[in-house]
Amino acid sequence: MFETGPARGWKSRTSRAALTVATIILAALWAIPLLWLIVAAFRPASDPMGPGDVWFAFPLTLDNFAKALELAPFERYFVNTLVIIAMVLGVQLVTITLAAFALANYEFRGKRFLFFFILLQLMIPTAVLLAPNFSTIRQLGLFDTRLAVAIPFFGSAFGTFLMRQSFISVPTDLVDAGVIDGCNWWQLLWHVYLPPSVVTLVAFGLASVSFHWNAFLWPLIITNSDEARPLTAGLVRFTQLGEIGARWSLLAAATLLVAAPILIVFLIFQRRFIQSFVHSGIK
């Protein structure tokens, strides 16, 4: 027996409704920590926070934000973060593009093994590389510098994979036409491979900026002063206030100051962000 039209439509509507409810529940669970952070940031520092006491207290105050800005040089942290992100992304765009071009356009001995080795790096946890990276940075004499924070990320296995998948989708006829017209390798890359891959570059750039804005462990390990620390590592200052340890109202306000810029940018460009990943599809 085949289902009739109304029965099939009812099942479809039920499935969509169930999916919508599940999405709302997941969104609420994701938003709970952010809501608590906002509540804690606007509560007076003198107002105790006991178990279950997570709602706004009145009157609301901005004193926590003012105090946080006094206790830490956020202007320096912000500049450091922008410099580190610019260095990482600028070098990554060059390295992943050249590596992907070589893997997509040329045939050479060991190509499959090299590509496998690049993909293998995606499965290595970042924490495993902390000790050898730290040792290398110390030997280079770069400890406690912004360059030290950026160097380990100058190459990206994920970016190389993403760009290679985009490059191999470029029509062969278009590549052959460029070769016939006398394009050398960099002209071929610039005029044939890159134009259809701009969306993929944008998608990777957004992911890279988001990741390195939120990076915490490596910058904390490799820096020891405010001169090199980015925003996330600078938050450690607020866990060492007084004999009782962290002051949660100040820590919440400082964390909100760090997270707000990237969150606002995402909310403004969320459509572009999602479309970039959708249209960069892994082929």
Question: What is the distance between the alpha carbons of residues 158 and 149, in angstroms, rounded to a whole number?
Answer: 19
Number of domains in the chain: 2
Q: 176 is written with which tokens? A: 């052959």
**107 and 239 inside one domain:** yes
**57 and 190 inside one domain:** no
Question: What is the distance between the alpha carbons of residues 1 and 261, in angstroms, rounded to a whole number?
Answer: 57
CB distance 121 to 155 below 8 Å: no
Q: How wide is the angle at C-alpha 84 spanned by C-alphas 80 and 85, nearest 5°? A: 115
**158 and 183 inside one domain:** yes
**228 and 104 inside one domain:** yes
3-state SS assignment for residue 242: coil
Alpha-carbon torsion, ordered 153, 271, 16, 18, to 10 deg: 50
Residue 101 structural domain: 66-279
**55 and 75 inside one domain:** no
Question: What is the distance between the alpha carbons of residues 37 and 255, in angstroms, rounded to a whole number?
Answer: 8
**103 and 222 inside one domain:** yes
Q: What is the CATH number for 262?
A: 1.10.3720.10
**121 and 235 inside one domain:** yes
Question: What is the distance between the alpha carbons of residues 262 and 155, in angstroms, rounded to a whole number?
Answer: 23
Per-residue pLDDT of the chain (283 residues; tens, 9 = 90+): 445 556 566 667 788 888 899 999 998 888 888 888 888 888 877 776 655 555 656 677 888 899 888 888 999 999 999 999 999 999 999 999 999 999 998 888 989 999 999 988 888 888 888 999 999 999 999 999 999 999 999 999 999 999 999 999 888 888 888 888 888 989 999 989 999 888 889 889 988 998 999 999 999 999 998 999 999 998 888 876 655 556 778 888 889 999 888 888 888 777 766 766 666 555 4
Q: Which residues contact 191 (CB under 8 A, 6 or more apart)?
A: 178, 183
pTM: 0.84
